[in-house]
Structure 1
Amino acid sequence: MDSGMYEWWFGSRALLDEVGIERWEVMEVLFSPRRWSRPATSREGLAVLTVWGRTDEGRALLVLLRWLRVVGRWQILFAAPMTSMQLAEYTAWEVTGDE
């Protein structure tokens, strides 16, 4: 599936099913005007981008992306519900909007 500036990694559907997240929820977070992008590194040393945000219904999710230089777009790898610690950090950011 191609969503303009995003494409899905072939294994993402199974991972999303495991954690009970729908693909449309991921897209709502990615296209939300109140998303918080934060660089990170995977356990394997891969440079990734995390996008923290809420679905239209308010569900707090963290989306994991990697940049595909060859095609010039982000690949959606995984998403997960925020932990309580992440939710507290994100909620504080929502109030201030500070990077």
Structure 2
Amino acid sequence: MPVSAPRLDPRLLERLESLERSDLSFAEIRRSLVVRARELDIPPPSYENVRRLAGRRRIEREITAEIRSLAISVAVGARHPADLLVALKSAEAQNQT
């Protein structure tokens, strides 16, 4: 059975964060991280760990963009401020799961 890292090395986490911003699949991100892990002579991350972390980052980025857009709408008077509060509470609840 192949060895995989239980926790992501900070250098790999940094690489994951830059890669997940692209349109790469989780498998492509993992392959890139495996190459980098070999260069650093550290255990590579498991696919499941990469999928979980990259997926969470993508969701967080999507929520941030939605809230930013809503905040601009509130600032220019196109939306009610209460809409922003509802969105922030919803984002906080999603972040806790």
TM-score norm. by structure 2 comes to 0.26
Q: Which has the higher strand share?
A: 1
Q: Which has the higher helix share?
A: 2
TM-score norm. by structure 1 comes to 0.26
Q: Which has the larger radius of gyration?
A: 2
